[in-house]
Amino acid sequence: MRKTQTILLTVAMVLMGAAGVVATAPVSAGAATCPGGNARLLTFPAWYNGLVEEDCSMKKLGNGDDELRNLVFRIALNIVEIILQLVAYATIVFLIKGGFDYMTSTGDASKIGNAKNTIERALIGLVIALAAVAIVNLVARAV
């Protein structure tokens, strides 16, 4: 197998595995009864995730600056996660575009080279975006 075919096959297997994990992920009872608990739309978190109590009311703020700082930090982390996931989806689109260009290159060396570059850069972008989402989730859990 060529290097590009191996990369495409690996990415396809990873994406299918990830789709299986997402499709079979359990939904907690709190999320089903209170959409604010862990609300997500197409894997995007709501901007207010982590700011809702178990009874679906907003968390109360005290008079301390730390609580307000944590509130703003939590909202910022949710927005950053949304942006990073958009980047991940964009890289998948470029990966598909590069694969399509590779298949339709009809043996033209310059088109094949451009398609390989698109695929390579999309994979690098995807790895960076997924790592960034993992870091944001790690920081968000710490807050």
Calculate mean pLDDT across residues 46-65: 71
Contact 91, 133 (CB under 8 A): no
Residue range 24-45: mean pLDDT, rounded: 57
- The tokens of 16 are what? 């299918």
Asked if residues 61 and 68 have their Cβ atoms less than 8 Å apart, the reply is yes
Give the whole-angstrom CA distance, residue 95 versus residue 87.
Answer: 12
pLDDT in tens, 121-130: 998 988 888 8
- What secondary structure does DSSP assign to 74-98, as a single string? HHHHHHHHHHHHHHHHHHHHHHHHH
Average pLDDT of every residue of the chain: 75
